[in-house]
Amino acid sequence: MKIHDILGCVTQMRPMRVLLAENNLSNSLVARSILEREGHVVTIVPNGVEAIGRARVEPFDIILLDIVMPVMDGLESVQYLRPPLSKMLVSVRPYVFALTAYDRPDDIAAYQQAGFDGVIAKPLRKGDLHASFSRVKNGDGPTLTPTLTGIAANSPDAASRPLLDEAIIRDGAGLADDVTRERIWRSYRQGLSAALREISRCLPGCLNRDVHDTERFQAALHSLRSASLTVGMDRAPYLASELRGAPIEDLTTGVAKLLHAVRDSLPQLEQALLDISAESVATR
């Protein structure tokens, strides 16, 4: 093994101090379970403003920023996390990664232009942080981490997609203890209910081309997709992604399909999250 390969392995095994900015509770619980199981020390804040405040006074190796957050989003926050070191009380600038469900090529280009060191697509999985960190250390730049499954790997035919992704559940929420999995399930259900209410409320306005309702509709879709990916849903977040930028004439049918997928997925997801010790997770 070459010297740089040995050094790379050592870097990958080293526990890191990680700051995560994520306002969704179920997402942050899953991320903490994954990262702490890998030996990292994790601090979680709900928005970019608090991330900036913590990063300026505490040493972190890596900062993970969700893109869509209240108060200050990830694209704005990263600008303040790359200042001259004289403006920070810490001596070494941390690496800053986008952790996001917005992972299309134009999204990745925007993150690169904004100054992110790397991009990790949701759902965060075991090993993703090390994979992305290694790519940046090797000079590969802020390209999407190559460990995607689920949304990226499966057939684009919605009807043939599984309701759940067993691997995501096993390597995500499945790493949490029983109490945390219960919290993940309850917080996901609460957030899901809020997103579905917003989607239903804003749909008529979208059909009438109301800009305000369209923005809120898209924000609710993103919230649903982000949280659903993280807990291990497959078909529902795919359908939510299809509605991003869909023609107006397709919205009603698309929302109906999304609601059916959510309805069919929830009983299996509850069983999978609350009985993770079962030999297999039902995926259809």
- The CATH number linked to 253 is 1.20.120
Looking at this protein, which amino acid is placed at residue 5? Answer: D
| Residue 272 burial class via C-beta count within 10 angstroms: exposed 0-12, middle 13-18, buried 19 and up | buried
State whether 91 and 211 are in the same domain: no
For residue 279, the tally of other CB atoms under 10 A from its CB is 4
Range in 138-142, 146-150, 188-192, 264-268 with the lowest mean pLDDT: 146-150
Measured CA to CA in angstroms, residue 102 lies from 40, 61, 226 at distances of 25, 24, 9
Task: Give the angle subtended at the CA of 102 by the CAs of 99 and 107, to the nearest 5°.
Answer: 100
State whether 167 and 203 are in the same domain: yes
State whether 85 and 187 are in the same domain: no
User: Mean pLDDT for the chain?
Assistant: 84
**Domain-embedded: residue 147:** no
Answer yes or no: is pLDDT of 116 > 80: yes
Sign of CA dihedral 53, 124, 33, 223: positive
Answer yes or no: is pLDDT of 85 > 80: no
Per-residue pLDDT at 136: 76
State whether 125 and 212 are in the same domain: no
State whether 81 and 164 are in the same domain: no
Among 171, 219, 170, smallest CA distance to 23 is for 219
Q: Which domain holds residue 126?
A: 3-137
Phi, psi of 234 (to 5 degrees): -125, -55
**Domain-embedded: residue 215:** yes
Per-residue pLDDT at 108: 87
Total domains in the fold of the chain: 2
Answer yes or no: is pLDDT of 149 > 50: no
State whether 164 and 225 are in the same domain: yes
Instruction: Examine the fold and report which residue of 137, 167, 197 is the final residue of a domain before the chain moves on.
Output: 137
More confident residue, 89 or 270: 270
**Domain-embedded: residue 20:** yes
More confident residue, 220 or 245: 220
**Domain-embedded: residue 91:** yes
Phi, psi of 45 (to 5 degrees): -130, 160
Q: What percent of the chain shows pLDDT beyond 70?
A: 82
State whether 169 and 133 are in the same domain: no
Per-residue pLDDT at 281: 43
More confident residue, 282 or 15: 15
Q: Label residue 140 by pLDDT band (50, 70, 90).
A: low
Instruction: Examine the fold and report which residue of 106, 137, 168 is the final residue of a domain before the chain moves on.
Output: 137
Average pLDDT rounded to a whole number, residues 39-67: 94
Instruction: Examine the fold and report which residue of 103, 137, 171 is the final residue of a domain before the chain moves on.
Output: 137
